[in-house]
Amino acid sequence: MVLIAAGQMCSGADLAINGRAAARLAEKAAHMGCKALFLPEAADYVARNATHSKSLCMPSESSPFVLTLQSKIRELKALGRPLCVCVGVHEPANDARGRVKNTLLWLNSHGDIAQRYQKLHLFDVALEDGRSLRESDSVQPGANLIPPFNSPVGKVGLAICYDIRFPELSLRLRALGAQLLAFPSAFTMRTGAAHWELLGRARAVDTQCYVVMAAQAGRHGTGESVGLTGEAPALPRESYGHAMIVDPWGSILAQCSDVGRGTEDICIADIDLDRLDTVRRDMPLWEQRRSDVFGNC
C-alpha cells in the first residue's frame, strides 16, 4: 500500500500566492508520508474573465506558481521525502482565438514535468436566468488523451473536471491499463451538490480504478466577473470543494470537510493495488465486455 493525498484550495488571481499555498500542501502531504499529492484544476489561478485569464497565463517553465511548487518538491526530495504532484494549470495556446490551455501536469519527485494532459471536454452550459458559462470562449480543447503511465502510486490516467461526465474517456484509460484516475476539478456549487460524489463513485465502479478528485473550494478572489456572458451582472465565483478519494468498489475512502471550506486542506488514503486486483478478479468486467456488440473502448 502507498499513501496519497487529494488537495483542496481556493485559488485567486495571484500566481505567487497560489504557488505558496500549493507548496504548503505539498509539505504537509510529504510529512504525512504521502508519495503523491493531487491538486485541483486551475490551481495556478482563477481569473475574472477570458481577457484577465490571457493576461495571467504564462508558460509553466516561467510561471511563479509552477516554479514555487517545483522548488518545494526538490526541497522535499533532498530531505528524503520524495513526492510527486499532479496539478492543474493554464498554459499559452497557439490559438487564433487567443485562448489558453487548461492542462494537467505530473511533476515527478525531482520536480520535473514528466506528463502533460490538455482538457478534452469544455464546460459550456446555459443557465436558467439566460446567461451562459462557456469555457470554450477562453480555453482551447485538447485533441488527445495520454496513455496511463507508471508512478510510485500505480498506473495513472489523467483527466480534468468536466471530463468526468464522459465515461468513454475513463473506460479508454482503464482499457489502456490505468489503476488510478485523476479528476482535478472546480465544480460549481449547484453541480457539485447534485453530482460530485455520484460521478466520482460511478467512474470508480465503471473502471474498477481508484478515483482521485482534488477540488477548488470556496469563493475565489478574482474581482468583478468570472467569464459569464450575457446582460445580467456576473456573480462571484464559488467552487464546491469536497476533495475526495474513491476506491475501485465505489467506497469513499477520504473526503475534505466542509468546515473551513475555502481554506487549503488535504485528505489522505492508502492505494492498495492488491484490493484493486481483488475487485477486478471477483467481478471480471473486462473479460465480460461485449466488444462484438459495442466495439472496443
List active site positions.
41, 119, 161
Angle, to 10 degrees, between the axis of helix 15-31 and the axis of helix 64-78?
A: 20
**46: CB partners within 8 A, 6+ apart:** 11, 12, 13, 186, 216, 220, 222, 226, 237
Q: Please identify which residue in the block is written with the cell numbers 481569473.
A: 47
Distance CA 154, CA 212 (A): 13
139: left (phi over 0), alpha (psi -120 to 50) or beta: beta
> Count of alpha carbons within 13 Å of 141, Cβ hemisphere only?
13
The separation between CA 27 and the C-alpha centre of its own chain, rounded to angstroms, equals 19
Parallel, antiparallel, or unpaired: how do β-strands 100-107 and 84-92 relate?
antiparallel
> Count of alpha carbons within 13 Å of 154, Cβ hemisphere only?
26
DSSP state of 283: S
Grid cell locating 74: 526538490
DSSP string over 9-67: E---S-HHHHHHHHHHHHHHHHHTT-SEEE--TT-S---SSHHHHHHH---TTT-HHHH
